[in-house]
Homo-oligomer: A and B are copies of this chain.
Amino acid sequence: MTATKPVTACVLIIGNEVLSGRTQDVNLKFLGENLNAIGIRVTEARIIADDEATIIDILNECRPAHDYVFTTGGIGPTHDDITSASIAKAFGVELVRHPDALALLMRHYRPEDVNEARLKMADVPAGATLVHNPVSSAPGFRMGNVFVLAGVPEIMRAMFDGIKHELAGGPPILSRSLIATAPEGALALPFGELQKQYPDLDMGSYPFQRLGRVGVSLVLRGTDPGRMTEAMEKLKAIVRDLGVEPEDEDGKP
Contacts and interface: CB of A to CB of B under 8 A. Distances in A.
Interface of A: 15-26, 28-34, 36, 41-50, 76-80, 109, 113, 115-118, 120-121, 152, 154, 173, 175, 183-189, 191-192, 195-196, 202-209, 219, 221
Contact of A45 (B31, B47, B203, B208): B47
This protein's copies in its complex: 2
A21 B25 contact: no
A107 to B, nearest CB: 15
A78 B187 contact: yes
B47 A79 contact: no
Contacts of A42: 19-21
Given A113-B186, A185-B118, A80 B21 contact: no
Nearest to A194: B79
Contact of A79 (B36, B191, B219): B191
Nearest to A216: B78
13 contacts: A17-B204, A17-B219, A19-B32, A19-B44, A20-B221, A21-B42, A22-B32, A25-B28, A44-B47, A76-B205, A78-B187, A115-B185, A152-B207
Nearest to A80: B204
Contacts of A202: 16
B31 A203 contact: no
A30 to B, nearest CB: 7
Contact of A19 (B43, B47, B175, B188): B43
A77 B205 CA distance: 9
Nearest to A49: B43
Contact of A32 (B21, B29, B43, B152): B21
Contacts of A183: 113
Nearest to A190: B117
A204 B50 CA distance: 10
Contacts of A33: 20-22
Q: Which A-B residue pairs are the 9 nearest by beta carbons?
A: A21-B32, A117-B188, A21-B33, A79-B192, A45-B47, A118-B185, A78-B205, A77-B188, A77-B185
